[in-house]
Chains A and B, each alone.
Chain A
Amino acid sequence: MTPRRSTRALPSLNLIGQSLLAGLFTGGLYALLGLGLSLTWGLLRVINLANFALAFLGAYLTYQLATTHGLDPFLTLLVIAPGFFVVGIGAGAGISALPDQRAHSLIVTFGLTVILEA
């Protein structure tokens, strides 16, 4: 009886490359989210809890534009990013009018998060 030859499964280069790219892109995604948070907190002293909700709103808008209007997802940035810039300016103007900016921005952005997620 001949011993069965053990076959070593070589790691797929395709899988390794995809994993590396997945890590890279996920890190880039977190970097983008953290960049917005660090800007608002580090320079403006505003606790922006709505940052993630705004990101998901942008995700939904991107998906909607890409599916219903047939736009390329990367081309939707030309519409969504300036729109969100204007929204951010409006939100910043509203938050800067608050008397106690840190505490009130926490509450206001949390409420904005709830509204957006609803």
Chain B
Amino acid sequence: MDLDRGLPAPGIAVHAGVARVSARSSWAWPGFSPSPPPRSWRSGRGRGSAGATSARPRGPARRTGRWPRAFGVNRRRLALLLAGLSTAYAAVAGLFIALNHTLAPVADLLVDRRRLRRRDHRPARQRLRPARRLACSSPQRGGDDGGDGAGLGAAGLLHALILILLLPASSCEPNAASARARSGPGGRRSRCALVPALKLPRLLRDVPVYLVCFWRRWPRAGTSSAATPATSASATPRSSGGRLHHRDPDDRRSASPSCGRLPTAGLVAALLGRRHRRGWSFASAACGASSSAS
């Protein structure tokens, strides 16, 4: 099959070819580069010198190892330029080796390094799923989940909003009968059970939330009771320019336990449930605390 391509027959002809290459080269070289280096590099002289003519290879090998004199470019400068360019290419290649792996510039966009330090290699799109690895403690897992990996970073704010909006001032009225009449029997407890069903976040996030609820509930209780004197028999609002801004201290004392009852219940529930006992355990604790306080 080599006859079609004009190759010599195996055996003797191969040795003849090797001998031919060896005879042409002045030094022992395997032969895949048939041309010796240019004579100007070997002799250190210019190309036009007369003594280098005999060192020039003959035959087809002359075309491979020589550079044409193009555009009057200094050959040595061009060689140095190419040497520097090849080394600069190596430096550019070293940039990509220097990164942890060649994909690192792209992979960094998808990797949350804080989760990576926790050996949580999930991509960012799956963060709301519960983590399968729960062997470490909750401080190691970080504060961005509710302790069970549910991603409850905003649950504290949601909880506060529900406490403020969904529980109106009726729950803070001192008259329990009117509050019961507005919300129905067991309405407060059902709301208490509704809020912890959302899975409360951890204690350190709960305490400020409940402080906000205290702050939010306390003055509104006095204002709402003063604004509805019909429901409060002991309230004596004083009007100044059509605006109510003061009520009797005895009424405030009587209203304080009721308006602080629900946040207290939630705070007790958070204290009880700080060790991963969440969900409906909060609900039962909140209901129990609420009923005992009332």
Residues of A within 8 A of B (CB): 14, 18, 21-22, 25-26, 28-29, 32-33, 35-37, 39-40, 43-46, 48, 51-52, 54-63, 66, 73-74, 76-77, 80-89, 91-93, 95-97, 99-103
Q: Give B44 Cβ to nearest chain A Cβ, in Å.
A: 8
Q: B96-104, B258-266, B269-277: which one contacts chain A? A: B96-104
Most chain A CB inside 10 Å of its own CB: which residue of B27, B29, B89: B89
From the candidates B35, B38, B84, B91, name the one contacting A89 in the complex (CB within 8 A). Answer: B84
Interface size on B, residues (CB 8 A): 40
> Are B27 and A103 interface neighbours, CB within 8 A?
yes
Beyond A25-B103, A45-B37, list 17 extra A-B contacts (CB 8 Å).
A14-B110, A22-B102, A33-B93, A36-B93, A40-B82, A40-B86, A44-B79, A56-B94, A58-B98, A63-B98, A66-B98, A85-B91, A87-B87, A92-B83, A100-B27, A100-B42, A102-B29
Residues of the A chain whose Cβ atoms lie less than 8 Å from the Cβ of B42? 99-101
Q: Counting CB contacts under 8 A, is B65 at the interface?
A: yes
Given contacts A76-B95, A91-B83, contact A45 B65 (CB under 8 A): yes
Q: Counting CB contacts under 8 A, is B215 at the interface?
A: no
| Contact string against A for B residues 47-90, beta-carbon threshold 8 Å, 1 for contact and 0 otherwise | 00000000000000000010100000000100111111111111
Given contacts A45-B65, A96-B76, contact A85 B110 (CB under 8 A): no
From the candidates A73, A80, A92, name the one contacting B82 in the complex (CB within 8 A). Answer: A92
Q: List 28 A-B contacts (CB under 8 A).
A: A29-B93, A29-B96, A43-B79, A45-B33, A45-B37, A51-B87, A54-B90, A55-B90, A55-B91, A55-B93, A56-B97, A58-B90, A58-B93, A58-B95, A60-B98, A62-B95, A62-B98, A66-B98, A73-B99, A83-B91, A85-B84, A85-B87, A87-B84, A87-B87, A88-B83, A89-B81, A93-B80, A97-B44
